[in-house]
Amino acid sequence: MHSIALRAGVNKALLHYYFHSKEMLFEITLKRVVELLWNNVQTELAAHVQGNLRALIQAIVSAYITTFASNPDFPRFIFREFSQASPTFLGVLKEIVSSISIAPQTIFSIYAKEMKKGSIQRIEPVHFMMNLMECAPLLFS
């Protein structure tokens, strides 16, 4: 907490007053990251996707770039927590996804439709999303 307070330019006591513990600060930060990403995805989906996989991928990539261009440490943060199967991360992710269910429902219904048609190979939906997030910057380089 001390090094976080120093980097933020605030008093350590103030940090403890608002967040009470490092774990609480972590959870709030994690919620902010996931909410920001999903809100951007949801906005892009509502504006551009009409059941088309290519439009879906473009919308997700656009949301990814918008979110992470201004927050370059977020991808590493999310991938680390996901790869460690952090209970806090999984709980926050479940909470966020259930509160904005239209984005995941849209993504996975289009994805399932394309798999059923045979136009894409079958992989777990979460792997599809993680691969898409990992490869998104390469699509625009």
Kindly report, residue by residue over 8-30, the tens digit of the pLDDT.
899 889 888 888 888 888 888 87
Structure tokens at 19: 């967040």
43: exposed, middle or buried (Cβ count in 10 Å: 0-12, 13-18, 19+)? middle
pLDDT at 140 over 50: no
pLDDT at 82: 75
Which pLDDT value is given to residue 26?
81
Res 49: pLDDT: 63
The pLDDT of residue 141 is 45
pLDDT digits (tens, 9 = 90+) for 81-128: 778 877 877 787 777 666 655 566 777 778 888 888 888 888 777 777
> Helices 74-83 and 53-69: crossing angle, nearest 10°?
110
Closest CA to 82 of 122, 127, 38: 127
Q: How do residues 47-94 score in pLDDT, each as one tens digit?
A: 766 667 777 777 777 777 777 787 777 777 777 877 887 787 778 777
Residue 139 confidence (pLDDT): 52
Mean pLDDT (whole number) for 34-40: 77
Position 75 scores a pLDDT of: 75
Burial tier of 81 (Cβ tally within 10 Å: 0-12, 13-18, 19+): buried
Residue 102: what pLDDT?
59
Question: Cβ atoms within 10 A of the Cβ of 117, count?
Answer: 9
The model's pTM: 0.56
